[in-house]
Structure 1
Amino acid sequence: MDGCFVRNSTAPLKKVLMCPPIYAYLKKNVSGDDGVEIDDELCIKEHDELVDAYRSNGVEVVLMTPDQKLHDQVFARDFGACIKEGYILGNFRMHDRKGETKSYQEKMDELGIPCVAKCSNGHFEGGDFWMLDDKTMAIGILERTDETGIDEIRGQVGRYGYEIIPVRSSEKCLHLDMCFNIVAEKLAVICSEVLPRDFLNILKDRNFKLIEVDRKYLLECHCNLQALGNEKVVSFKDNREVNSAIRSYGIEVIETHTSEMFKHGGGIHCMTFPLSRG
C-alpha cells in the first residue's frame, strides 16, 4: 500500500484490519465468579457476520492471525490510529494488552504502512481517536489515554499540520468511542452529559448534528458504531433508537448481531481498524 491512508472519519472506507475472537475471554474477578457466561461459538459467528457486512459493502478485510496469549486482540482499534500519512503506534496502559503492540506493528510493516508517530512514555489507545476533519484530531482522556501520550503524538504529527483537541471525561468508559462516534459527515452519536462543554461547543461551531444517547446505554455500546462513508453506517440490531435516528438523516444502517461480543467489553468500532479511507 502507498499514498493516502486514512484521510478522516467519514470518507469511503476501503480497507480494515480485524482479528477473530478465537482466544478472547472474559477476565474473572477476584472471587473467580464474573456472573457472565459467554458463548464462544456465537462470538465467532457474530464477528464473521461483521466481516461479511464489510465485505458485502465493498470494504476489504485483512484478518490477523490470533495469538492465544492475547485475549483482547479482537479489539483491533486500540493499538494505534491510521492517518493520511501512515499510522500512529500507541502504548497500552494495561500490561496484559502490551503484547498486542508487536503483533500489530509487524502486520502494519507487512502491509507497507509506515509508522509516522509513536507513543512511548505516555499512553495512547486508538479507541480514543477521532478525526473531526482532515486536519483536526480529537483524542479522549478517559481511562486509557493520558496527556503525556497526547503531547508525544502532537510533537510528531505537528509537521503534517494536524491540530489535536484533548477531550476529557470522568465517565467510566474505557475510550472516547463509547460515548462519541462520528457516523457520517457532520453527524455524531453522542452522550453529551458525560463530555465537556468546550468540546460540545467545538462540535456546535463546526455545525455537527448530534444524536443523543442516554448515559445508561453507554456500556451497552449504543455509541460504538462504524461509519462506512457513502451515507452508510454499520450498527447492531438492538440499537433501535439510534438506528432509527440515523436513518432519519437519510443514512443507510447496516445491522449486525453483536450482543454476545459486547460481553467482552467492546463493540463494532472497537473491533475495526481502518487502513484505507479516502
Structure 2
Amino acid sequence: MYPIHVDSEIGRLQTVMLHRPGKEVENLTPDSLSKLLFDDIPYLPAIQKEHDYFANTLRNRGIEVLYLDTLMVESLSDKEKRETFVDQLLSESKQMVNGSSQLLKEYLLSFDTKQMVSEVISGVLKKDLPEQAKKHLYEIMADHHPFYLDPMPNLYFTRDPAAAIGNGISLNKMREPARRRESLFMQFILNYHPRFSQYSIPLWINRDYPFPIEGGDELVLSDKVLAIGVSERTSARAVEKIAVNLFKSNSTIEKVVAVEIPKCRAFMHLDTVFTMIDHDQFTIHPEILDKDGNMNIFILEKGEDDEPVSITRRDNLADTLKEVLELPEINLIPCGGGDEIASAREQWNDGSNTLAIAPGVVVTYERNYVSNQIMRENGIEVIEVLSSELVRGRGGPRCMSMPLKRDLISKN
C-alpha cells in the first residue's frame, strides 16, 4: 500500500493526482495575465468540461484519480494544522507586514476547511473582506491591485510543484513567484494526509533549496535513469543537487541525464518538447536540436573519492538514449511530422506533451492531429481529449497530471 512508486514514464498508470480548474481561472484579468503566466483567459465552464473529460478518460482506463484540493482538505484535519498552513502561506505571500497578515489569517480561518482551501486557491479579493478589515487594509496597502492574495490559476498543472521518482518525491522550488506557493500544498499533503504521512517518503530535493526545479523537466526514463531538462524553469544547480541526493540514498537511479533546451516560454519544460511513449519510442520537437542535429547533454553519475558526482558530456540525443537505456535502436517521432508550420503550431499547442498511461498508450490533445496520426502510424495507441480551453494555460496532458503510482515496467 506504499503510496508512491514511479520507476518509468510508461509503466501502467495506477494513481494520478489532478486539480480541476476553478474560480481561480475566472479571477484572471488582462492586467494580471503576464504576472500569473497566462496568455489568455479560459472560459471556466468549458475548461471544467474539458478537464472532466480528461479525468474520466483516465478513470475509464482503470486509473485512480485523486484531486489535490480534496487531499489538502483531508490533510488539514484540525485547527492547529489549518493555522500552521495559513501562517506559512501568508509568510510566503509576503503578507507579514503592518498587521495585514493577522487580518487575512482571521478571514481565512473563519471558513470551514473546504471553503478555506478554495479561498486560498481562487485568491482573496479586497472587496470580499469584512468592512472593518477592508478599511484597515486599504490604509496600509493603498494600491489598485484587487487581490490581497493572488489566485493560483496554474494549479491545474499538477506535474510541476512535485514529482514522484522511484519511491520518493522531488518537492520543488518553482522559478516564478506566481507558482511558488503551489508546492506548499504537496508539502502539507505528504506531512499530514493519512495516505502519505504514515510512511517515511524520501525527499530527493526540498522546496527550501534556493535554486529552481519543476516537474515538467523531470522524466523517469527507467528505474536507473532520470532525465532532467535544464530549461527556463530548472537550473543546473538543482539538477546536480537532486543527482547527489539520489546517488547517496537507497534510490535505484544510477544516471541523471541533464538535457539543455532553449530557455524560452514556447519550450518551457523538457516535457513540452520531448516525452517517452514506449520502451524505445519518444516524441520530440525538432527545434530543440541545432542545425547539425545536436544539443548539450550531460550524464551525471556517482563520483569517486571526494567527488559527489562525475559528469560527462554528450551531444546526440538519440545516441545518448540508446546508451543509458541500453537499447539497440530508438525512434524519435517529430512533433507535427517535422513540417515547418505544423511542427511549430502543434508544439505550441502541446503536441509533444503526451501522457503515457501504459507502454505505447498515450493521452494527447485532439487538436494536434498531425502528431497524433504520425504516432498511430508508429504503432502507438493515441487517446484524444478535448483541449480548446485547457490549452490556453500552455500545458498538455502530461503537465496536468502528477503520477503517484505506476506498475513496475517489468510487469507490462
Q: TM-score, normalised to structure 1's length?
A: 0.92
Distance 1:277-1:166 versus aligned 2 partners, 3 A rule: same
C-alpha offsets along residues 12-50 of structure 1, whole Å, 9 cap, x if unaligned? 110000111112365635899x88452111001110000
Corresponding position of 1:210 = 332
Are 2:147 and 1:147 aligned? no
- 2:128 corresponds to 1:6: no
Between 237-246 and 39-48, the greater mean CA deviation after superposition = 237-246
Quickly say closer, same or farther: Cα 1:190–1:17, change in 2 above 3 A.
Answer: same
SS at match of 1:193: helix
Instruction: Please say if 1:28 is aligned against 2:44.
Output: no
Give me the CA root mean square deviation.
Answer: 2.2
Q: Which runs of 5+ in 1 are unaligned?
A: none
1:59 matched to 2:63: yes
Q: Superposition pairs for residues 249-260 of structure 1, below 5 Å?
A: 249-260=378-389
How far apart are 1:3 and its partner, in Å? 7.0
Q: Which structure is higher in strand share?
A: 1
Secondary structure in structure 2 of the residue aligned to 1:122: coil
- Aligned residue number for residue 165 of structure 1: 257
Tell me the matched-pair count: 277
Q: What is the aligned counterpart of 1:91 among 163, 166, 173?
A: 173
Q: Which moved more, 1:141-150 or 1:109-118?
A: 109-118
The one-character-per-residue Cα deviations of 1:43-64 (angstroms, maximum 9, x if unpaired) are 0111000000000001100011
Relative distance call for 1:3 and 1:39 in structure 2 (3 A) is: closer
Alignment of 1:159-238 (within 5 A): 159=249, 160-162=251-253, 163-170=255-262, 172=264, 173-195=267-289, 196=295, 197-205=315-323, 206=327, 207-213=329-335, 214-238=343-367
- Identify the range of structure 1 (127-136 vs 41-50) with the bigger mean alpha-carbon deviation: 127-136
Structure 1, residues 51-109: CA drift from partner, whole Å, max 9, x if none?
Answer: 00000001100011152232211110001210222211111011111111111222234
Q: Answer with 226-235 or 204-213: which moved more.
A: 204-213
How far residue 250 of structure 1 moved from its aligned partner, in angstroms, is 2.6
Q: Which protein shows a greater Rg?
A: 2
Task: Give 3-state SS (helix, strand or coil) of 2:216's partner.
Answer: helix
Measure, in 1, the Cα distance between the counterparts of 2:33 and 2:204.
41
Question: Judging changes above 3 Å, is the alpha-carbon distance between structure 1 residues 131 and 193 closer, same or farther for their aligned structure 2 residues?
Answer: same
Identify unmatched segments of 5+ residues in structure 2.
70-117, 124-151, 290-294, 296-314, 336-342, 408-412
Distance 1:37 1:92, change over 3 A: closer
* Residue identity in the other structure for 1:210: L
Mark the CA change 1:10 to 1:154 in structure 2 (over 3 Å): closer, same or farther: same
Does structure 1 retain, via aligned residues, the 8 Å contact 2:217–2:229?
yes
Per the normalisation by structure 2, the TM-score is 0.63
